[in-house]
Amino acid sequence: MNLEKLPSFSDDGSLQVVIETPRGSRNKYSFDPESGLFLLRKVLPLGMSFPYDFGFIPGTLAEDGDPLDVLVLMEEPAFAGCLLRCRLLGVIEARQSEGRKSERNDRLIAKTLVSRQEQDDQTLSELPPDALREIEAFFANYNAVDGKAFNVVRRSGPKRAREIIEAAKRGE
């Protein structure tokens, strides 16, 4: 399975996201391009699980050396390896640090096109504020488990999210 050749956007302009870790899972999976399989990277502590499906955008490279991360809002969990067509809602721009090392590790937020809930949401600002705070808290706690800090720089809309994707496609 060569996901690197999969385009980031479909012909209709929707974002293509490959799910690594399903909603509700304590297991963190990562796609291994060398083997074409999904590897179990870690198990989250009791009481902690992914709030939504978590995946990546094929053909992108973020500052942390991995493809761009995407949290996909959807009613039910998908499965590792599932390809979802999504609409970008925006991005939580963030810095992740461990000791003296600091790097960008943005979290794009998207919604699957087949969602039955909140069809009108077009940007992050239209989501409930509590939901965004809880997503940011999840990532802060997720990183804290490994001794890393996750600091939100800002929340931005779909236009900025698309700029980040285009830069990551060019390897910038």
- Rounded to an integer, what distance in angstroms lies between the CA atom of residue 62 and that of residue 31? 15
What does the pLDDT read at residue 171? 72
Residue 80's pLDDT band (cuts 50, 70, 90): very high
**What fold is seen in the domain 3-169?**
Inorganic Pyrophosphatase (3.90.80)
Q: What is the pTM of this model?
A: 0.92
Give percent of the chain with pLDDT exceeding 90.
73
Which conformational region is residue 111 in: left (phi greater than 0), alpha (psi within -120 to 50 degrees), or beta? Answer: beta
Stretch 44-54: mean pLDDT: 97
- Please say if the pLDDT value at position 172 is more than 90: no
What does the pLDDT read at residue 12? 78
Domain map (residue ranges) of the chain: 3-169
